[in-house]
Structures are given as C-alpha cells and as structure tokens.
Structure 1
Amino acid sequence: MTSDLPESLAVIRDDFLALDQPDRLQLLLEFSGELPALPEHLKDHPDLLERVEECQSPVFIVVELEDDAAQTVRMHATAPREAPTTRGFASILVQGLSGLTADQVLEVPSDYPQMLGLNDAVSLLRIRGMGGMLARVKRQIALKRVAA
C-alpha cells in the first residue's frame, strides 16, 4: 500500500521515518516555515478557500486543477504562524500534492498522515486535522471534475 504513494509523498514520508521522534517534530516545524504564500489571484478572495473544520486552528485550503489532460493539481493553504504543527501539515500536503495529477491525489491513502511516524510527537487531534485536509482536497478535486 505505501509503495503506491506518489514519489513526492513517499520522499516526505521517508524523510520523517529516517529520524527519531524529536527530530521528526523538528522537521515538521521546518515544513511549517516552508508553507508557500497564496498566489496573487487568491490573496484578496478568501471566499474561494474552504475552512478545514477538523483543524482547531483556522486552516483554509483550495485546490485548482490545471487545464491539461492530466488535470494537474495545485493546492494552496493558509494557516497561522502561531499554529506551527498544523501549518507544517498543510505545508506537507501543499508540497506533496501540488504537481500530481488529479488521479494520483485521489489515490493517496487516507491514512497518509499516520504514515509520517508523528503519532507519538503530536496529538491525535492534529493528525486527524491533517486527515481532514487531505479528505477536503480529494472532495474538492472530485467536485471540480464533475463541474468540468
């Protein structure tokens, strides 16, 4: 099952699993600092982003599908700097999912957040929040494909 992960997500997973628990948490915090800013066309349109209710912190995401045969995914997210764990999870998904095809993203296992080996480092609630982000990404892709 994990061998079916797209390379971008497999590399991130492997980077986490190669570390001991304290260093995994440090890597998550590094991802937090790498969350890309929203592109210009979204900055003034918060109405285009969806709140991830599963997260305690105010996290908002949007998925765009490029107009190509593969429907390349571009994920965008915002999360407050005061919530570095949640922001780190958002960054992992933005970096790991953007550039994949819609089909590849839809096939990502729902338990990907548990594959990072962070269950002992962060609360189950935060792991569920990342799962909620992934579920909403998949739902947005499915809805956009129907509308296309």
Structure 2
Amino acid sequence: MAETPLPASLASIRDDFLALDQGERLQLLLEFSQALPELEERYRDHPDLLERVVECQSPVFLFVEVTEGVVRINVTAPREAPTTRGFASILHEGLDGLTVDEVLTVPADYPLELGLTEAVSPLRIRGMMGMLGRIQRQVREKAAA
C-alpha cells in the first residue's frame, strides 16, 4: 500500500529541521516557540471550550474548528515552556488551514520525523504526539457533526 504523502506544510517543516545539526534544531524549535500566535480573544474569554493536553507536562490547551472542510487550530502553551510551545507552534503552522482529510492523514509519529529525539526528552515528544492526536480526534468529531 502506498504511503500517504505528508501535507506540504509539515513536510517543509520536517525538511527544515533535518537540514540542521542537533544544536541548530533546538534553536529552530525555540524560534517556533516565539512564533506561536496568541489565542484568539473569543477563546481567552471562554477557556471552557479548550481541551487540556494531559500528555504535556506544561499546561497546553487547544480547540479545533472545522468550517466547510477547512481546519483551524487554536492552541496555547506557556512562554516559560519553550519546547512545548515550539511543538504547539509547529502543529499550528503545519495544520492550520488544511482540509480535514489532510489533517487526518498525518501519521501519529510525525513528531519523531523532526530529528529531535536526541535533543528532546521522550516525554516531550510524547506530549507533541498527544497534541497531534487530540487535534485529529477533534477534527474527526467536528467533521462528522
């Protein structure tokens, strides 16, 4: 069976990481952490809409919207947790604006493809996998509604 291609946005992010050595990868992750957009005001006013990502040690919350088959990712992570915030930013940049099918075909182990397993603890990688899994579950639920 042919492997489903990774959406171009995530493939590009992966390729950017893999083109660097370990130290440079951590720097790129830090740059992603600084690029995570602030949560939209309507979600800041309604934290009850956000789902906690319990796989993350840091308090990470997310909410997914699906409108006419297009996915919008809303995620918040604390500035004092740059690794976790960087992972959240990668998923935001890589998934926001994709179609339902594109988001759902992303492999669960995508975080392992970034080449960070030697630089970042397995617990943090598991947190990013948890974020991806929750995003995909919310997409499935909202697309079916």
Instruction: Note if contact 2:51-2:63 (Cα within 8 Å) is conserved in structure 1.
Output: yes
* 8 A contact 2:4–2:105 mirrored in 1: no
- TM-score normalised by L of structure 2: 0.96
4+ residue runs of structure 1 moved beyond 4 angstroms? none
| Residue number in structure 2 paired with 1:65 | 66
* AA partner of residue 30 (structure 1): E
Residue 18 (structure 2) aligns with:
17
Alignment-derived partner of residue 118 in structure 2: 120
Shift in alpha-carbon separation, 1:23–1:105, aligned structure 2, 3 A: same
Question: What's the counterpart of residue 97 of structure 2?
Answer: 99
Deviation of 1:38 (Å): 1.0
Other structure's SS at 1:94 match: helix
User: 1:63: how far off?
Assistant: 0.6
Instruction: Measure the CA separation in 2 of the matches of 1:92 and 1:62.
Output: 15
Q: Could you tell me how far 1:41 is from its partner in structure 2?
A: 1.6
Task: Name the Cα RMSD after superposition.
Answer: 1.2
Where structure 1 has 5 or more consecutive residues not aligned to the other structure, the ranges are: none
Residue segments in structure 2 that go unaligned for 5+ positions in a row = none
Corresponding residue SS for 2:65:
strand
Aligned residue for 1:38? 39
Alignment-derived partner of residue 48 in structure 1: 49
1:7 aligns with 8
Amino acid at match of 1:131: M
Following superposition, the deviation at residue 3 of structure 1 comes to 7.0
Q: Is 2:130 the counterpart of 1:132?
A: yes
Cα–Cα, structure 1 residues 127 and 56, in superposed 2: closer, same or farther, change >3 Å? same
What is the deviation of 1:40? 2.0
**TM-score (norm: length of structure 1):** 0.94
Q: How far apart, in 2, do the equivalents of 1:64 and 1:40 lie?
A: 15
In 1, the alpha carbon distance for the partners of 2:44 and 2:108 equals: 29
